[in-house]
Amino acid sequence: MKKLFLSFLMMLTLLPLAAANKYDNPDTIVVSRDGTGEFRTIDEAIEVCRAFMDYSKVIYVKKGVYKEKLILPSWLTNITICGEDRDNTIITWDDHANIKMPVGGLDSEAAVKGKPMGTFRTYTLKVQGSYITLKNITIENNAAKLGQAVSLHLEGDHILVQNCRLLGNQDTVYTGIAHNRSAFYDCYIEGTTDFIFGPGRAWFENCEIRSKANSYITAASSPAGQEYGYVFNKCKLTAEPGVDKVYLGRPWRPYAATLFMNCEMGSHIRPEGWHNWGKQSNEQTARYSEYNNHGAGAATKGRVAWSRQLTKKEAAKVTIKNVFGEEAW
């Protein structure tokens, strides 16, 4: 009898492990709002992923609106979040920088009641892990135009964003860590002011960059020792009706590095192209350049004297391999 009781206890002990091991393999985890998947929320799927995986795992998200504020922590790697349908699989949240913080704050940080949240807590999705792919999905911050409101906040390295919609107003996409790399292919990115910003290295290819207000597209803060910041290749710059005075960028920090090449620029792009953020000293340090762009906003005659037009030889060196290093993407 005693042996039977001990065996029963051992079985009870192993049950949680067996349940956990269901997801401790390269399988796809399905998320669906209607209950037809393994989980109803993306957060639940993230929770069962093993730390520092040396294999790939896919979180497949069926169509629906997922009102979630999500973090992929630094110990999660080799994960793909893939939507069933880009336009109809939506992760959305609505924090903005001027929301008053509750007692205790967010992200385990103490906060005084009534203190504004600030830009860097407003994310809808924060990616701290590396080797992460986001595919066929919409990430949205649908806060009212009351301040900075980040949709996608990136801190990990080697992040691929493919065929996604990134929706917001001010500060839509934040590349938050210097030298870390992210690549955006075939994406739609919209915003009002500085809606692509930060110190990280990022490559944008075949993306539509849509301005929703007369303001600035980029606000890079590349450090002085980082050769590349943002590179836009074969992108299309568009604007909403009535928007006709947009700058390509302004330097959030003095050594901001941004390049537009082989892009189509609409008439909403200002002839000057670039802004110094009200500091003449930035004109000596900011690294703003263009090459082989076309469209009504691409004329080089009126560009500020402190920006550059690359030569063919210089432009030939700007490849994703050279921007990101030897590692294949």
pLDDT grade for 326, boundaries at 50, 70 and 90: confident
The total of other beta-carbon atoms located within 10 Å of residue 48's CB is 16
What is the C-alpha separation between 139 and 152, in angstroms, rounded? 7
- Pick from 325, 73, 328: nearest CA to 201: 325
Tokens of 103: 């007692």
- Pick from 262, 143, 259, 121: nearest CA to 191: 143
Tokens of 232: 């836009």
* Res 103: pLDDT: 60
Q: Which residues are catalytic?
A: 194
* Res 112: pLDDT: 59
* Res 111: pLDDT: 56
**53-66: b or e for each residue (b if 16 or more CB lie within 10 Å)?**
beeebbbbbbebeb
Q: Is the pLDDT reported for residue 57 higher than 70?
A: yes
| Contact criterion met (CB below 8 Å) for 172 and 189 | yes
Every domain of the chain and the residues it spans? 53-324
Q: Is the pLDDT reported for residue 128 higher than 60?
A: yes
> The domain at 53-324 falls in which architecture?
3 Solenoid (2.160)
Average pLDDT over residues 98-110: 64
Q: Does residue 26 or residue 145 have the better pLDDT?
A: 145
* Res 8: pLDDT: 37
- Tens of pLDDT, residue by residue over 262-284, are 999 999 999 999 999 999 999 99
The total of other beta-carbon atoms located within 10 Å of residue 242's CB is 9
| Contact criterion met (CB below 8 Å) for 93 and 69 | yes
* Res 115: pLDDT: 86
Percent of all residues in the chain with a pLDDT value above 90, rounded to a whole number: 82
| Contact criterion met (CB below 8 Å) for 290 and 300 | yes
- Tens of pLDDT, residue by residue over 169-225, are 999 999 999 999 999 999 999 999 999 999 999 999 999 999 999 999 999 999 999
Q: What is the pTM of this model?
A: 0.90
